Structures are given as C-alpha cells and as structure tokens.
C-alpha cells in the first residue's frame, strides 16, 4: 500500500472511532416511515390519475381536437400538456394525422416509455398509421387499408340507416299513438256531446246552442291532427335530403383532396423545370453574385449561414464561393435532390422546423430564400422567434425577394417593402431594402439580448 493510501486508511480509522463516540453521545430521534403510494388519492392536485396505467383506446379517443390532446397528455405522460408540445400535436391533427398516431407517438416517446402506460388496442392502429408514412409503399398500404376498411364503412352506413329507420319508426309509432289518442278524444267528445245534448234536452232544452262550441273544438282538434301528420312528412323529407347532402359532401371532399395532391406534384415539377432553364440559371447567377456581395460585406469567411427554402441550391453555391459555411433546407424533394446531386449541403424538409431545431446563438446569419414560406401570421411569428434565438449577436437576417417568387399564392412573397416594415416592427435594427429589376433583398441585424434556459445538473 502506498503512503498516501496509508494516510487515508489512518484518517478513516479515526473517523470510525469518532462516529462510534458520536452515536453514543447524540443518538438520532425516532423517525416516521415515509408515506407510501397506496395512501394517496386517485387524482392529484392537477386532476391526473397518476396511479392508473391501463386504458382502452376508446377511453382516449372520444374527445376532439384540443380536449383530445390534453386528455392524451394527462393519461399517457401524467402531466398537463406544455404549450409547445400541445401545439405540435394539434398541428399533426390539422395535417391529417390519426388519433392513434398521436397517441402512439406520445406513448412510445422517451417520456412516454418512462411513464409506461398500457393502452389496449393502440399498437396495431399505431403500426398501421406508421406504415402509411413510408414513401410510395405507405401510399399503397393506405389505399389497401382504405379499401379493406370499405366493408366497415358500409357497415357503419347501414348501421346509421338502421338507427335512422328505427328513429323514424319510433316517430311513426308516436304519431300513431297520438292519432289513437285523438280518436279516443273524438269518442269522448262525441260522448260528451251526447251527454251535453241529453243534458240540454233534459235541463234547458237548448241543444243547438251547446252544439256549436263543441263543433268548433272538434274542428281545432282535427286541424292539429292534420298539422302533426304534415310535420311527419316534412321530417321524413328532411332526413332523406340530409342523407343525400352528406354523401355528396363526402364525394366532393375526396375529389378535392385528389386534385390538390395532383396540383402540388405538378407545381413542384414545373418549378424544377423553370428553375433549370439556361435563361433562369444565367439571370439567377448574376443576381446571386450581387446579393452574395452584400452578405460578404457583413460576414467573415467561415461564418455559419442557414438558408431556408434553398431551391436548386444556386444561392448556396454563391455563398460557398465566398468562403461562407452555408447549408440549406428545401421543402420540395425534387429540388433538394437536384441540389444534393450537385454536392451542395441542401436537405429536404420543413425549413421553419429545421430552424427551430438549431441551438441558441449557433448561426451568424439566416437567409430566407423563399419569402412565401412565411405567408401567414403563425409562420412569421415562428420565423421571428426562432431567428431571435438561433442568431449569434450580432447576427443577420437576409430575406431574398425574387421578382418571380416560387410561391406566388402568398401575399408577401414579392413585397420587399412590406418585409422591411415587418422586420423593423419585430425589433431588428439596421433594416435596409436593396431593390433591383429582378427582385430585392431585405437585410436586418439582430442585436437584442435573448433569455437563455438554465442548465441542470442531471
């Protein structure tokens, strides 16, 4: 044993003796055992059943939209939903994800696995939902699943028909009962009329005088009966019309979705074709050279730049030629593949989502090549939030306004002056607009401090 270890051994022996003496001198007071799990109530202060780990999928799919997502958080992750996560799940729903897919994503996330809730009936539905996400194969599976589900849909339709017919039968029976009741009333009225007549004859001898109001009352009853019968006819007509309308709406929605998908594919192919014409390439190269000079004046070689909506990557090539470390995200898969084939760092994906995954202060500049990406208020807010977080200080935001934007459907796609105003209003400084015949470039600097999240130890 080395001398240093001897030293520690000696110290430990001394401590052992001190501990024994301390135990004699100051024994610990008696302590109560800790509370155990089975002593707590089923619901905690947040209204969450923490000890319940077994559900059936039907229990979690009854609610809709926000209520569905919040219920899933509380059942699967045993906590209320956080704003970002809840919005993410709602966005998935809005994009057409099934409830089973949302539940499955939460259940088999790292956090969900840690909680370990069992949801009977979820796994096969989740697997099917995931299979339909596979490119090409998933589309085919989706078709087959839909075809396979047709008998179920028909069964549901027949079931609905049966329910409606049953309700109709109930209504008819009710009306028949009303009619019978009215018949009874008629009999009673007639009896009463006879009795009145007899009474009149016997007491006053004025039967004719009493008969008139009774006739009028009988007429009212007959009118009401006729109204009821007419209502039943109208109800039956409305039911048939509603059923027909629903069928038409379903067919129209299916047609619209198919046409929308086809149009999207055509637009992507057309955009790719137009961008690759020699005239377009030549004009773009000149424009990019001028604009990249503007960037070069503000950034040092080796600066880290993220380009959103990179198209075929020609803008990235211009940046790279200036020694800037640039990478890009393009939502069109054919364009992204074309850029990748040219050895440019362009990946296919959602540009705003990619920006949101960048770490704090990790970028020297962000270029927005497809201004039409931010056509809505939500997208603009996401862009500004993520930009303020991901840019270093100082950092630069460049918005390229093409003369012929790739997404002309967006109202600010080609409006440089409006972008200038928006960036200034968002708190960026040194906002400038460089205009030319073939488009314009909006440049803004980000200087404001950003709150950083605090790290934890483990």
Partner 1 sequence: MKIAMLVPGLRPHDAVSNDVRGMSAALREDGHEVAVFAPHAQGVDEVVRAPEELSGWLDRRDGVLVYHYCVGWDFAFEAMRNTRARRVLRYHNITPPEFFADWSPGYVTACAGGRQELDGFAAMGCDLYLGASPYNNEDFTRRGVAPERCESVAPFHEIEQLLELRGKAERIPQGVPLWLTVGRLAPNKAYLELVDAFAAAVALDPARPPHLLIIGKLDPNLSLYGEALQARIAGFGLEPHITILQDADGAELRAAFEHATAMVMLSRHEGFCVPLVEAMALGAPIVALGSSAIPTTVGDAGIVWDSDEPHLVAATVARIGRDGELRANLRERGRARYADTFANAVLAQRLRRIMQRFAAP
Does 44 bind partner 1 (CB under 8 A)? Our answer is yes
CB nearer partner 1, residue 29 or residue 301? 29
User: For residue 254, what are the CA distances in angstroms to 125, 158, 213, 259, 263?
Assistant: 22, 21, 62, 9, 14
Check residue 82 for interaction with partner 1 (CB under 8 A). no
Nearest-angstrom CA–CA distance, 227 and 216: 17
Is residue 301 at the binding interface for partner 1, with CB under 8 A as the rule? no
**Rounded CA separation 319/330 (Å):** 16
Look at residues 222, 203, 201 and name the one whose alpha carbon lies nearest to residue 211: 201
Q: What is the largest CA-CA distance in the chain?
A: 139
Choose, by CB under 8 A, the member of 12, 58, 203, 409 that binds partner 1.
12
Task: Choose which of 3, 31, 297, 301 interacts with partner 1 (CB under 8 A).
Answer: 31
* CB contact at 8 A, 394 and 447: yes
Please say whether the beta carbons of 392 and 421 come within 8 A.
no
Length of the chain in terms of residues written? 458
Mention every residue, 6+ apart, whose C-beta is less than 8 A from residue 416.
399, 401, 433, 435, 439, 440, 441, 442
**Least distance (Å) from partner 1 to the CB of residue 81?**
13
- In angstroms, what is the minimal distance from the CB of 114 to partner 1? 5
* Site for partner 1 contains 78 (CB under 8 A): yes
Residues 178/170, Cβ–Cβ less than 8 Å? no
3-class DSSP state for residue 392?
Answer: strand
Number of amino acids touching partner 1 (CB under 8 A): 48
Binds partner 1 by CB under 8 A, chosen from 6, 13, 16, 250: 16
Q: What's the min distance (Å) between Cβ of 254 and partner 1?
A: 29
Smallest distance, Å, CB 18 to partner 1? 4
The smaller minimum CB distance to partner 1, of residues 12 and 202, is found at: 12
27 three-class SS:
coil
Q: Which spans in 299-394 are helix H?
A: 314-321, 333-341, 351-356, 377-390
Count CB-CB contacts under 10 A for residue 224: 12
Query: Considering only 11-19, 94-102, 150-158, 394-402, which stretch makes contact with partner 1 by CB under 8 A?
Result: 11-19
32 binds partner 1 (CB under 8 A): yes
Binding mask 233-252 for partner 1 (x = CB under 8 A): --------------------
By CB under 8 A, residue 357 contacts partner 1: yes
Question: What residues line the site for partner 1 (CB under 8 A)?
Answer: 4-5, 7-8, 11-12, 14-16, 18-20, 22-23, 25-26, 28-29, 31-32, 34-37, 40, 44, 50-51, 53, 78-79, 109-110, 113-117, 357, 359-360, 362, 453-458
């Amino acid at each position: 044993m080395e001398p240093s270890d001897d030293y520690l051994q000696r110290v430990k022996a001394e401590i052992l003796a001190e501990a024994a003496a301390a135990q004699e001198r100051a024994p610990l007071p008696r302590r109560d055992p800790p509370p155990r799990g089975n002593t707590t109530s089923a619901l905690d202060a947040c209204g969450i059943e923490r000890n319940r780990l077994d559900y059936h999928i039907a229990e979690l799919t009854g609610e809709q939209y926000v209520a569905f997502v919040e219920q899933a958080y509380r059942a699967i992750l045993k906590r209320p939903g956080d704003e970002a996560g809840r919005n993410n799940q709602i966005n998935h729903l809005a994009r057409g994800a099934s409830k089973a897919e949302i539940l499955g994503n939460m259940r088999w996330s790292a956090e969900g696995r840690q909680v370990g809730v069992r949801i009977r009936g979820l796994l096969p539905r989740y697997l099917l939902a995931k299979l339909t996400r596979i490119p090409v194969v998933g589309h085919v599976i989706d078709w087959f699943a839909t075809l396979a589900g047709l008998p179920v849909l028909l069964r549901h339709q027949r079931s609905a028909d049966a329910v409606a017919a049953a309700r109709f039968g109930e209504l008819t029976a009710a009306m028949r009962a009303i009619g019978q009741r009215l018949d009874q009333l008629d009999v009673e009225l007639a009896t009463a009329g006879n009795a009145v007549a007899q009474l009149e004859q016997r007491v006053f001898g004025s039967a004719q005088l009493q008969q008139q109001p009774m006739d009028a009352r009988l007429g009212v009853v007959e009118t009401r009966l006729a109204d009821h019968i007419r209502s039943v006819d109208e109800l039956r007509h409305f039911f048939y019309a509603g059923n027909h309308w629903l069928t038409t709406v379903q067919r129209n929605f299916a047609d619209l979705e198919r046409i929308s998908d086809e149009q999207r594919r055509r637009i992507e192919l057309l955009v790719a074709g137009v961008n690759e014409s020699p005239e377009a390439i030549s004009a773009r190269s000149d424009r990019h050279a001028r604009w990249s000079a503007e960037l070069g004046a503000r950034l040092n070689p080796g600066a880290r730049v993220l380009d959103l909506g990179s198209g075929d990557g020609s803008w990235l090539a211009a940046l790279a030629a200036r020694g800037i470390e640039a990478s890009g995200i393009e939502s069109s898969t054919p364009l992204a593949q074309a850029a990748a084939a040219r050895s440019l760092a362009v990946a296919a994906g959602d540009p705003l989502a990619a920006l949101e995954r960048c770490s704090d202060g990790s970028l020297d500049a962000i270029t927005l090549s497809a201004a039409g990406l931010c056509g809505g208020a939500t997208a603009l807010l996401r862009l500004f939030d993520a930009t303020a977080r991901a840019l270093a200080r100082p950092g630069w935001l460049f918005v390229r306004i093409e003369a012929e934007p790739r997404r002309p459907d967006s109202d600010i796609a080609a409006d440089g002056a409006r972008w200038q105003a928006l960036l200034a209003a968002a708190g960026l400084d040194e906002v400038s607009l460089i205009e030319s015949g073939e488009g314009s470039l909006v440049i803004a600097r980000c200087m404001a401090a950003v709150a950083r999240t605090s790290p934890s130890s483990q």
